A = this chain, B = another copy of it.
Amino acid sequence: MCPMDHEKRSHRGAPGKVSKRVAQGLRSRDSLLRAATRQFAERGFSATSIDDVCRDAGVVKSAVYWHFESKEGLLAAVLEETATAWIDGIVASVQQTGDPRERLSRAMVGMRDLVENRPALLRLLQSMLLERTGENAETRAVLVRVFDRARSALTDGIAEVIGSRPPGLETTAALLLASLDGIFLQHQLRRDVAELDRMFAELERAIVFLVTSLFNEAQRGRPDGTAGADRTPPADGEADK
C-alpha cells in the first residue's frame, strides 16, 4: 500500500528482528540498487530499461515499483548511494598522514584510484549531470549537494594542511575537482594508464603551486605570522626554486 517508508516502521515489538521476508526484501532492494548503479553508469539512464536492471539483479520488474516507486525513484536512490560513496572516496583521499607535501601526494593517489578503479561512480554522476539536470530538479539538487560536500572536504583538507584558510581556497578546490572530472572523462576515451599517470603528476605540480602561492599570499597579508605559524609552509622543490 504505502511502500518507501517501511524502514521507519518497527515491526511490532522486537526492533532489530526483521522477519525473514523483510530481510529478503532488503536483499532484493539491494540487488536492484547495485544492478541499477552498474547499468546506469554503463549505458546511461535513458538507455537502460527497467528490464535490463531486473535481468541483472535477478528480480522481477514490479519489485522495482514496490521498492522505488518509479524508474526515477530508482535513480534517486542510486544517486544518493553513489554520491555518498564518491564523497567518502574524496574524504578518504584527503585524510592522509605525513608532512604537507606527502599528504597531497597521497591524496592525488587516492583520487587517481577513484578514476581508475571506481569508474562507475564518476560515470554515473557525470552522465546524470549531463543527461538529467535539464528536466529533473531533484537530480540536480542531489548533484549540487554532492559537489558542495566534496569541495568542502577538499577545502578543509588543504586548510588543515597549510594551517590557514586563505580566501581563494574554495576556488582552488573546485578547480581540483574539475580537473579530476576532466581527467576522468579523458581517461574514459583513451584508457591510457601511462597518460593518466602523467596527467596526475602534472595536476599535482599545479595544485602544489596554487596552494603554495595562496599560502604565501595569506602570509604576506598578515606578516605578524600569528595564524598558521606553528606549521611549516608547504615545501615544494619546484615552485620555490
Contacts and interface: CB of A to CB of B under 8 A. Distances in A.
Nearest to A60: B1
A140 interface: yes
Given A1-B61, A205-B210, A186 B174 contact: yes
A178 B131 CA distance: 20
Interface in A38-70: 42-47, 51, 54-55, 59-61
Interface string A119-141: 00001001101110111000010
A130 B44 contact: yes
Given A144-B190, A209-B206, A210-B205, A182 B171 contact: no
B133 A188 contact: yes
A183 B175 contact: yes
A202 B172 contact: yes
Nearest to A2: B55
Interface residues of A, number: 60
Determine the main DSSP class of A at the interface with B. helix
Nearest to A51: B1
A232 interface: no
A182 B189 contact: no
Given A43-B135, A175-B206, A209-B209, A185 B181 contact: yes
A186 B195 contact: no
A148 to B, nearest CB: 9
Contacts of A134: 42-43
